[in-house]
Chain A
Amino acid sequence: MSTAPKTVQSKETSSLSEKGLKAGSVGLIGAVVIGVSCIAPAYTLTAALGPTVSEVGVHLPAIFLVGFIPMLLVALGYRELNNAMPDAGTSFTWATRAFGPWIGWMGGWGLIAATIIVLSNLAAVAVDFFYLMLAQIFSNPELGELSKILPLNIATTLVFIALACWISYRGMETTKGVQYVLVAFQLLVLGWFAVSAFVHVSNGTAFDATAISPDWFNPFAVDSFSSFAAGVSLSIFIYWGWDVTLTMNEETKNPEKTPGRAATITVLVIVIIYMTVALATLSFAGVGETGLGAGNPENQSSIFAVLAGPVMGPFAILMSLAILSSSAASLQSTFVSPARTMLAMGHYRAISPKFGKISPTYKSPSFATIAAAIAAAGFYVITRTVSENALWDTITALGMMICFYYGITALACVWFFRASAFSSARAFFFKFLAPLLGGVILLVMFVKTAMDSMDPEYGSGSSVGGVGLVFVLGMGVILLGVVVMLVMYRLRPEFFKGKVL
């Protein structure tokens, strides 16, 4: 007896959300933990605080607050698109549907580039704090200096990237328990740092005790629009990850209320911790350009590496541990994103279908994960070799890249929903006004930062052929995207003729 073979979708699938996550498994606190872990505040602060101070000085708190606005506006549009067209390609698919294959392709490229850049930066920060922690464990400062030896630094970073790639390829994931511990530990250590800094200020033992002034919160007091634009594109980066809570759905216990509440609580937690740490850092160290000053270019690539010791004393090792653990966890989870976007692009034949391969053993994107690792490693090696201060320059370039693809995504939302935007007040605000404002702000920031960064003195002051390195990195990556796109057009025209999406 034989029956026709058929595949049966098992009934278990119905208890899963569209994302393949178990439905109803995340409560409010869980969602906030996920939001905070995506932002990884210990990592973003150490990476972005210094470069932002170099742009806007004491107006750091103001810029950190203002930076949230475009993020919020774009995230609202992102949520609308995600609900209307859930797709693994996200920005790539949406921009393709709204503006056609060419802009869509570049949107996907911007998203992949941003995640590749953040991967290389995460790995580099993890390596710095890895050596710093070794130095603290063995009370031997020479070990911390090891990360400044170029070949050793590059080798260690490549090892970190390879490890994270392997873990991601094997489909291993951070579990609930680990994530709770990592997030609680980060917040605790950042709070500890802030309290210790204020204690030093009140005891008169601070490096450059600076009195907090209301002017620090005034974004209009920033001396130039250039500084303002640069500061905002940097502070986009520190909120990047927040909107993950908004896109949660069936996996939450209460899909009606949890995502919105979680997003609100997450941003409150984050803003409080950013404000506290920013104020503590400025009060303790000032913005002077010597010694421990937050304005000292020497300190700006990784502010906590310099300040944790003087502020927290022997407990500085906790800061190293918090940053190392959070950046290592982010490194692993961030790998998933470019890999899946490339997989989707491969799947839709916008790039070689090899990128669409899924490992039969681990059921994860195989080719795309390895490609992401190679790209991140390559990006780091190039930046590190040509830049005096690779971390700083990559963060600035990253801010630009986020503005680029988020701007495109936001405008894609406006254009895609143009027919229904005026049907109700809600639709007008969420599908038109918010994404339009957010998208325009981000693209203005992008263009302004790009133009300013041509100056060889921009950012850390590294330059290639008389042009600022940040410009070369940012524009180089985008131009490379254009070149690859044209090659792909020759090789697989069907996508570009709009036959696939």
Chain B
Amino acid sequence: MRYVVGYTANARGHDAVHLAVAMARNHDVSLDLVLVIPEDSPFNAVYPPETGYNDILNEQAQRWLDEGLALVPADITARAHIRRGDSEAQTLIDVAVEMDAAALVIGATNGGLFKRFTIGSVASSLLHSSPVPVALAPHGYQRTEPITRLSCGFGTRPGADELLDVAVESARDRGLPLRLVSLLALDGGNSPGLADAAWVHAADRLAAVGGSAAETPEPEIVVAQGRTIEEAVDRLDWEDGEILLIGSSRLAQHRATFLGSTANRILRALPVPMIVVPRDYTRQSS
């Protein structure tokens, strides 16, 4: 399996490489660091004309990628690529599709002052159109040890079952404990009855997903509760090595991501990395 890492030579790119390394460690995965250089529009003609700028830019890109590769420990295979494209997000998607990548890993932002995740424009476009899962590293993500637990946030919306499938299988393949986070109670306030209902719903769904879960330890089920989504996220306990899997909104096109408003608010409060899974996504088996 391969992960495509959207690399930039700044904190955002470093966060992405760290997360990709952490994710690759549970698995036989190789990394492809991709640096996107903007493609000049000939209609924005540079005058007086010059031609060699491109060489200087390429040279710089090579140096940046060498720095990026240096962040990857020796036990993980990594390659680096320079690509040119009008839009960084679209170019990354094209590369991911072309390489048949299992995920696209990017850093969320350069520097959110107040929030853990402030979504940069590239991340934002990816989260609204990627056909492969997008893993987002929070600002300042340093950890490169293996992932220790997989959480999966889900509600009642269409697509929840497919997402659970993906979560159960991923956890099994990686030998990770799975935690299901029901978001059901978030819509209706803080009543204890609702929390119970959410728990029952989660257990139901899990049973429906089926026997494949049998070989792994029973998933933990928690119900996210709070007056606001942010509060609910804060009240859950998160392990350092945890990662949250979340589905796309109903607005997503078939086989594409679309970060819904709930997911967006979760993202802003979340202290750990998150993977957004496209709608109707079927996992690559390794």
Q: Which residues of A contact B (CB under 8 A)?
A: 1-3, 5-10, 12-13, 16, 18-22, 25-26, 30, 33-34, 37-38, 82, 86-91, 93, 111, 115, 171, 173-176, 178-179, 240-241, 243-244, 247-248, 251, 333-334, 336-337, 340-341, 343-344, 347, 356, 358, 360-364
Contact = CB atoms under 8 A, between A and B. Distances in A.
B38 interface: yes
B163 interface: no
Interface stretch (B80-88, B175-183, B253-261): B80-88
Contacts of B77: 1-3
A410 to B, nearest CB: 13
B46 A336 contact: yes
A178 B51 CA distance: 24
B82 A9 contact: yes
B55 interface: yes
Contact of A344 (B8, B12, B13, B56): B56
A115 B80 CA distance: 37
Nearest to B10: A360
14 contacts: A7-B66, A8-B81, A16-B54, A18-B55, A20-B40, A22-B39, A34-B45, A175-B44, A179-B44, A340-B50, A358-B56, A360-B64, A361-B12, A363-B61
B197 interface: no
Q: Which has the most chain B C-beta neighbours within 10 Å: A10, A33, A244? A: A10
A6 B31 CA distance: 12
Contacts of B53: 19-20, 88, 340, 343-344
Contact of A38 (B47, B57, B74): B47
Interface string B70-82: 1010111111111
**Contact size range, B:** 35 or more
B60 interface: yes
A20 B43 contact: no
Contacts of B95: 10
A363 B45 contact: no
Contact of B44 (A173, A347, A356, A358): A173
B74 A7 contact: no
Contacts of B57: 20, 358, 363
B133 to A, nearest CB: 22
B65 interface: yes
A189 B37 CA distance: 37
Contact of B49 (A37, A90, A115): A90
Contact of B48 (A1, A5, A111, A251): A111
A339 to B, nearest CB: 10
A111 B46 CA distance: 13
A115 B46 CA distance: 11
Given A173-B44, A179-B43, A20 B84 contact: yes
Nearest to A333: B44
A366 to B, nearest CB: 11
B69 interface: yes
Given A19-B40, A361-B10, A347 B81 contact: no
Contacts of A344: 50, 52-53, 56
A247 B62 CA distance: 27
A25 B40 CA distance: 12
Contacts of B38: 171, 362-364
Contacts of B52: 18, 86-89, 93, 344
Contacts of B12: 361
B39 A8 contact: no
Interface string B84-104: 100000000001000000000
B80 A7 contact: yes
Contact of B50 (A87, A178, A251, A358): A87
Contact of A21 (B10, B42, B69): B42
B9 interface: yes
Interface string B13-28: 1000000000000000
Contact of A7 (B47, B48, B56, B62): B62
Given A337-B50, A343-B53, A26 B8 contact: no
A87 B13 CA distance: 30
Leading 9 A-B pairs by shortest Cβ distance: A86-B51, A87-B52, A360-B9, A173-B44, A5-B69, A88-B53, A88-B52, A20-B54, A247-B49
A88 B40 CA distance: 14
Given A82-B51, A88-B53, A173-B41, A337 B46 contact: yes
B80 A5 contact: yes
A361 B76 CA distance: 26
Contacts of A30: 42-43
A5 B40 contact: no
Nearest to A16: B84
A251 B70 CA distance: 35
Contact of A244 (B13, B47, B81): B47
